[in-house]
């Protein structure tokens, strides 16, 4: 379906260690873009996460367009993904 974000919820070892699994119910990892406080809450949990780097890598590689992954917003990940793709292009 066009326009829908598809999230692969396949369990991988790093997901089992994610700090967000124990996050309070009032924390959303898919806050509205304008919800600065909600974004900050999610990022604070990511900052304590032992697998944030793996989470971020997965989100960039799978081009996740929504949510907070690895402590980064969609806009921040787009910038990182663009740089990542440019590096791949230069290396080939």
Average pLDDT, the chain: 90
User: Who contacts 1 (Cβ-Cβ below 8 Å, separation ≥6)?
Assistant: none
Helices 74-91 & 52-61 angle (0-180, nearest 10): 70
Q: 49: helix, coil or strand?
A: coil
pLDDT above 70 coverage of the chain, percent:
88
| pLDDT surpassing 50 at residue 1 | no
pLDDT band of residue 79 (cuts 50, 70, 90) is: very high
> How far apart, in whole angstroms, are the C-alpha atoms of residue 24 and residue 83?
33
Answer yes or no: are the C-beta atoms of 65 and 81 closer than 8 Å: no
């Amino acid at each position: 379906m066009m326009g829908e974000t598809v999230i692969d919820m396949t369990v991988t070892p790093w997901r089992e260690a994610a700090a967000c699994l124990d996050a309070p119910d009032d924390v959303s990892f898919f806050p509205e873009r304008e919800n600065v406080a909600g974004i900050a809450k999610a990022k604070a949990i990511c900052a304590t996460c032992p697998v944030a780097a793996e989470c971020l890598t997965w989100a960039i590689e799978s081009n996740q367009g929504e949510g907070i992954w690895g402590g980064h917003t969609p806009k921040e990940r787009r910038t990182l993904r663009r740089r990542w793709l440019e590096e791949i292009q230069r290396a080939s």
